[in-house]
């Protein structure tokens, strides 16, 4: 379960998780504010394992909610 502040960041796409459990931080999120909320910006943090159902939702979240940088190739 996520704390209310971390849940809010997740719902708004400022953080997400890889299927392996590694925390992803959006490049558009304001680092100082995240640090004040306890998000480890600039370091690798793994929260553990997810079930297959959670992994399916996380894939949806990363593709549709997470605020990833737009990279032009």
* Tens digit of each residue's pLDDT (9 = 90 or more) over 32-54: 999 999 899 999 999 999 999 99
Closest CA relative to residue 55, chosen from 20, 19, 17: 19
Domain ranges in the chain are: 4-64
Q: List phi, psi (to 5°) of 60.
A: -60, -45
pTM of the model: 0.87
* Tens digit of each residue's pLDDT (9 = 90 or more) over 7-35: 999 999 999 999 999 999 999 999 999 99
């Amino acid at each position: 379960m996520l704390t209310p502040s971390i849940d809010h960041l997740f719902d708004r796409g400022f953080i997400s998780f890889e299927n392996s459990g590694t925390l992803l931080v959006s490049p558009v999120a304001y680092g100082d504010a995240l640090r004040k909320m306890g998000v480890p910006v600039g370091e690798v943090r793994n929260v553990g394992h997810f079930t297959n159902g959670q992994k399916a939702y996380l894939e949806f979240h990363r593709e549709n909610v997470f605020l990833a940088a737009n990279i032009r190739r």
